[in-house]
Structure 1
Amino acid sequence: MSEAYTKPEGILSLQTIAMPADTNWSGDVFGGWIVSQMDLAGAIHAERFSRGRCATISINQMTFLVPVKVGFVISCYTKILKVGNTSIQMQIEVWDSHDDSRAPIRITEGVFTFVAVDVQRQQTSDS
């Protein structure tokens, strides 16, 4: 996933702005906040795809490439990599697009797995 490229892969699933309340003790946006945005974006895509409730079962890979600063407009792009009987594996990229004077910057990437669940939160078919 870490090969050099200059535009996001997948569909835009979530966009938000990093706020002062999202920072760690060093003044950078807390990594856990980024992960939660990625999880939300992946869940949105997984639930649209499966037409039902989904739950995150694993984060298979996660790479933080660039620190996120307050004011960054982060865009989460999602791309389905693999569909199983009850699971969806998804690539999720986070890009910063707050500065129109330069190209967007890929700041974080990961691979998440979601599983389809029913109303009792039991694993079910994703189709």
Structure 2
Amino acid sequence: MDDKPEGELTLQTVPFPADTNGAGDIFGGWVLSQMDIAAGMTAARRARGRTATVAINAMRFHAPVMVGDLFTVYTRIVRVGTTSITIHVEAWVERLETAQHLRVTEADFTFVALHSSGVKRPVPPE
């Protein structure tokens, strides 16, 4: 596992007890939603407008997220196609009481650029 995040700091938040699963760890769906929000912001910025998630590839959980962790998401564009953008997303936590910095999960998210009507459109050049 890398010891430093790759990509741009895109989102930071702290999970609360209401975000836990039955085992007391942060629910994987909450983690996924935070990653999708961060990746969506990066995709919309690059597409200069509306985008939608069309795929999440190879999501891997490396460690649990706990209540009170500083949860941070980093994004990096890895591919731009005609209408799509693929973004590598890494989620890290800082365990404040131990000062540990851990990568907890990562995945590749693919978005498609959309017109306001919801129809695919080309991603503009940079």
TM-score, normalised by the number of residues in structure 2:
0.94
1:95–1:105 Cα contact (<8 Å) kept: yes
Partner of 1:13: 10
What code does the residue aligned with 1:116 have?
A
Partner of 1:68: 65
Q: Write the distance in 2 (CA, Å) between the matches of 1:66 and 1:117.
A: 34
Q: CA deviation at 1:73?
A: 1.1
Q: CA deviation at 1:99?
A: 2.0
Q: Write the distance in 1 (CA, Å) between the matches of 2:14 and 2:118.
A: 31
Partner of 1:44: 41
The count of corresponding residues between Structure 1 and Structure 2 is 124
Picking from 84, 92, 97, the partner of 1:95 is 92
What code does the residue aligned with 1:12 have?
L
Q: Write the distance in 2 (CA, Å) between the matches of 1:110 and 1:89.
A: 10
Q: CA deviation at 1:117?
A: 0.5
Q: CA deviation at 1:97?
A: 1.9
Question: C-alpha deviations, 1:58-88, integer Å up to 9, x for none?
Answer: 0011001101110111100001111000000
1:55–1:115 Cα contact (<8 Å) kept: yes
Q: In structure 2, the residue corresponding to 1:97 is in which secondary structure?
A: strand
Q: In structure 2, the residue corresponding to 1:32 is in which secondary structure?
A: helix
Q: CA deviation at 1:42?
A: 0.2
Structure 1: segments with no counterpart, 5+ residues: none
Q: CA deviation at 1:103?
A: 4.3
Identity of aligned residues (%): 46
Q: Write the distance in 2 (CA, Å) between the matches of 1:83 and 1:56.
A: 14
Partner of 2:78: 81
Question: C-alpha deviations, 1:36-75, integer Å up to 9, x for none?
Answer: 0000000000111111111000001100110111011110
